[in-house]
């Protein structure tokens, strides 16, 4: 009996012996692919803003159609001015261009334009032409948009008749500013704006290069369509007046010419100031002169871009 009890005790003792815990088996970790860190994109060097290009359109009556030929060539080459400044006939073409009319649209307008569209003849008082027809024509063409809201920055240059000082219109009634800029003394009546009388901008700046510079232009492309003083015999009062104006404008123009980067001079020799039959020829002369100037235009823009980049300080 005693032996049986001892055997049962041994069996019971074996029953309560704790099991040795099994060692955890680590699961094999699959080899991870080594991912190379992505190379950071190369830092893009800070760039200065592109040079600001101004197109300056001078006065010259009907010879102003040559401006359209210049615009056509610039557009075809992707040279789009950032600023347009015009005097007299240049302000007429410039306002329409700033309003969004392209070169070919301007050409279509020119071919349809007749003298009666812009000339409202009156009995002589302060001028033979009142000028309201021109003002209304421009305002209709630009759909009544004010200068400061045109698609491109635009400035029309006129002369203050009381002070003799230059006046640069950058705000206000577009047609009225163009009319003031184009009011040749003795031909058009002066334009009264806010109590001041204004006449043709050619009396103070026939080719307003300096105005463009003052408005921040880095590159100035100037188009000179002016008539040179005539060597022919001077006839009546009108001839004397036109010759006097041509002499005065030549002196003023020569003073500003050195400030232009590119000077385009369409050959308008023999084109009368009021000869509307020469529209097509004037446009072609503008195209020819602009084509010849293209290499210089590109070079001046490139040089201006390099100067701006060299002086650029990133913010």
**Partners of 263 in the beta sheet?**
222
200 is catalytic: yes
- Rounded to a whole number of angstroms, the distance between the first and last alpha carbons of the chain is 104
Distance of CA 286 to the CA centre of its chain: 18
Q: Are 157 and 89 spatial neighbours (Cβ–Cβ below 8 Å)? A: no
Q: Is 164 helix (H, G, I), strand (E, B) or coil?
A: coil
Q: Are 289 and 264 spatial neighbours (Cβ–Cβ below 8 Å)? A: yes
Strand 154-160 versus strand 166-169 pairing type? antiparallel
Q: Are 164 and 204 spatial neighbours (Cβ–Cβ below 8 Å)? A: yes
66-76 and 103-112 helices, crossing angle to 10°: 160
Q: Are 125 and 215 spatial neighbours (Cβ–Cβ below 8 Å)? A: no
Instruction: Give the CA angle between residues 79, 215, 183 to the nearest 5°.
Output: 90
226 is catalytic: no
Q: Is 159 helix (H, G, I), strand (E, B) or coil?
A: strand
89-98 and 174-181 helices, crossing angle to 10°: 160
Strands (E), 106-185: 127-129, 154-160, 166-169
| Active-site residue (options: 160, 182, 200, 261) | 200
Q: Are 228 and 63 spatial neighbours (Cβ–Cβ below 8 Å)? A: no
CA separation for the pair 95, 289 (Å, rounded): 22
| Active-site residue (options: 88, 91, 182, 205) | 88
Catalytic positions, written as ranges: 88, 200
């Amino acid at each position: 009996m005693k032996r049986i009890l001892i055997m049962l005790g041994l069996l019971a003792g074996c029953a309560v012996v704790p099991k040795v815990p099994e060692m955890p088996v680590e699961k094999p970790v699959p080899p991870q692919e080594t991912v190379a860190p992505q190379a950071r994109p190369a830092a893009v060097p800070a760039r200065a803003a592109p040079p600001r290009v101004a197109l300056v359109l001078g006065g010259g009556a009907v010879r102003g159609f040559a401006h359209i030929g210049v615009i056509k060539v610039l557009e075809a080459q992707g040279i789009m001015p950032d600023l347009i400044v015009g005097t007299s006939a240049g302000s007429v073409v410039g306002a329409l261009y700033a309003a969004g009319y392209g070169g070919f649209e301007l050409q279509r307008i020119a071919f349809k334009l007749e003298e009666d569209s812009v000339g409202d003849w009156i009995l002589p008082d302060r001028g033979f032409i009142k000028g309201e027809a021109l003002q209304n024509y421009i305002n209709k063409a630009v759909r009544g948009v004010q200068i400061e809201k045109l698609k491109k920055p635009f400035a029309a240059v006129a002369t203050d008749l009381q002070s003799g000082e230059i006046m640069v219109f950058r705000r206000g009634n577009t047609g009225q500013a163009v009319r003031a800029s184009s009011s040749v003394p003795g031909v058009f009546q002066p334009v009264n704006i806010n109590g001041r009388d204004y006449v043709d901008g050619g009396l103070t700046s026939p080719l307003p290069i300096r105005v463009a510079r003052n408005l921040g232009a880095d590159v100035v492309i100037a188009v000179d369509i002016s008539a040179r003083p005539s060597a022919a015999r001077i006839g009546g009062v009108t001839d004397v007046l036109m010759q006097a104006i041509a002499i005065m404008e030549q002196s003023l123009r020569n003073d500003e010419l050195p400030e232009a980067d590119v000077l385009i001079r369409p050959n308008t020799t023999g084109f009368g100031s009021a000869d509307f039959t020469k529209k097509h020829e004037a446009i072609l002369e503008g195209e020819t002169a602009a084509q010849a100037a293209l290499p210089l235009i590109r070079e001046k823009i490139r040089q201006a871009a390099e100067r701006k980049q060299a002086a650029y300080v990133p913010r």
